[in-house]
Amino acid sequence: MGHSAGKSLICVLFFMLVLGGTVMAKETAKIGVIVVDVQGDFTKFKSGSLAVEGTDEAYIKTVEENTKKLKAAGFPIYATQDWHPKNHASFFTNHPGKKAFDVVKLNNRDQVLWPPHCVQKTSGAEILLDKKLFKAVVRKGMDSQYDSYSGFQDDGGKKTEMDKLLKKDKIKKVVVYGIATDYCVRATALDAVAAGYKVIMIKNLSRGVAPDTSQKAIDEMKAKGIVVLDDLDLERLKAN
């Protein structure tokens, strides 16, 4: 082999290694976004049956604008959607003599009894963001006997399709935000960590039921290695 041919071969091999490494790095760092339960019944904007403080029209617009930024930057977006049957065991109306927010034992767990919310095929169950933003919508809470705060599984341990979708798309890191910080955002983020994903939670794109339980949830997430950012920052998402 001549000197020039050998040099050319070395250059080709070098670029293959560099480009291959870049591709692998991109794949390793591939980020997905999970938007949790931005549905009518959880918002003040729609006078929902289980409306969380701070979920007015301005909040919904902020979430949509930031989600659009993420989509424009190439991040695949997944939504979770509470999708309960009318006879769901978490509804206080299905427990004679009980009232909203009572706590009962259900399947050996403490169960908060909620007002009926996000009932299948009702306007309160509708996601309030542009549906074209989402690569997939993962429904949860469909088993009448189990609540489902997490987008990954219900309280009985039955898995949703979330993990399969993320793995199929080679996602290694997830960004999580939505409603509510101290319930479904917390549970989804913690289950994502348990499933092996790096997790970033965006605080100001989320709203919690109560300040004390929301702070406790944020502390718990941080203790599990979840990065909590106050605001969306595309560069910090890639860096963390």
Task: Retrieve residue 172's tokens.
Answer: 């290694």
Which CATH number is 61's domain given?
A: 3.40.50.850
* pLDDT category of residue 240 using cuts at 50, 70 and 90: confident
115 within domain boundaries = no
Domain assignment of residue 139, yes or no: yes
Structure confidence at residue 22 (pLDDT): 41
Residue 59 lies in a domain: yes
| 223, part of any domain | yes
Q: Out of 37, 41, 82, 182, which one is annotated catalytic?
A: 37
Cα 49 to Cα 116: distance, rounded to the nearest angstrom: 7
Residue length, the chain?
A: 240
| Residues 36 and 178 sit within 8 Å (Cβ to Cβ) | yes
Read off the pLDDT band of 32 (50, 70, 90). Answer: very high
11 is catalytic: no
pLDDT higher than threshold 70 for residue 18 = no
- Report if residue 7 sits inside a domain: no
Q: Which residue among 118, 140, 154, 173 is the active-site one?
A: 140
pLDDT in tens, 85-136: 999 999 999 999 999 999 999 998 999 999 999 999 999 999 999 999 999 9
Cα distances (Å, whole numbers) of residue 184 to 3, 83, 95 = 64, 13, 23
Q: Is 110 inside any structural domain? A: no
Given 118, 147, 155, 184, which residue is catalytic?
A: 184
Region 215-227 average pLDDT: 98
In a domain, 227, yes or no: yes
Nearest partner of 213 among 187, 191, 232, 177, judged by Cα: 187
Q: Average pLDDT of 12-27? A: 45
* 72 belongs to a structural domain: yes
- 162-179 pLDDT, tens digit each: 999 999 999 999 999 999
Domain that holds residue 159: 32-82+120-239
In the annotation, is 184 catalytic? yes
* Domain count of the fold of the chain: 1
Bridge partners for 176 per DSSP: 34, 201
